[in-house]
Amino acid sequence: MALLRVLWEHEQQGQSQFIIATHSPILLGYPKAHIYHYLATLLPSSHPVHQTSSHTLSLQAFAIDYGWIPQQHNQLVAYAKLLQGYRLVILGSGDENPKNGEIPSIRELQTMLPTTKWYGYISIGINHGESDYSYLAIEKRIQEWKQLHVNGMLLDCAGPSYGTSEARRAWAMNAVHLAGMHVLMNAFTPQS
């Protein structure tokens, strides 16, 4: 977050340009950021990245909420004002749990921000401190997120650096699609 502040401060001066190689969805979600398909030079011509008509994508700002969602109405209204500029909001791990006291607040936020796309979060990694959820546990979380009417899922820790096999990643992505939702994936390495 400190880096985002530095980027913003330099942007306000109007005389800065940053080229950043990153996997960070937070940095990639910076307003007016552009993704350049540098992979086009590294991948075979049959790879889907070569099928795009342009080598840049403009991103709109999105937010990842790793914190607590306010439960008091006046705090929730203030929180909604903070989120209203984001086209997409990714809710945090555990927010999908039916025992979570934040679910009424999430539903109220969705009502306050009807044009916002909402995504759930599941880590599918198996090492480096990740939960190593079974396929059944991942499926359960997907269904819990679906009950919250999210539009998609961020599948985090989805690459080999977190012990996630290609088969596990493909299964999780397919399970989300079968539930009728979109997928964002953080796999850490471009090869994933």
**Per-residue pLDDT reduced to its tens digit, 53-97:** 444 444 566 788 877 888 899 999 998 988 888 888 899 888 888
Mean pLDDT across 106-130: 89
What kind of architecture, by CATH, is found in domain 61-192?
Answer: Alpha-Beta Barrel (3.20)
Looking at residue 31, its pLDDT comes to: 66
| Gap between the Cα atoms of 175 and 56, Å rounded | 29
> What are the start and end residues of each CATH 3.20.20.70 domain in the chain?
61-192
pLDDT of residue 38: 43
Q: Which of 51-55, 112-116, 181-185, 186-190 has the lowest mean pLDDT?
A: 51-55
How far apart are alpha carbons 99 and 40 in whole angstroms? 45
> pLDDT tens digit string along 139-161?
999 999 999 999 999 998 888 88
Q: What's the DSSP call for residue 123?
A: E
Which residue, among 52, 13, 4, has the nearest Cα to 31 in the 3D structure?
Answer: 4
| Whole-number Å distance between alpha carbons of 70 and 66 | 12
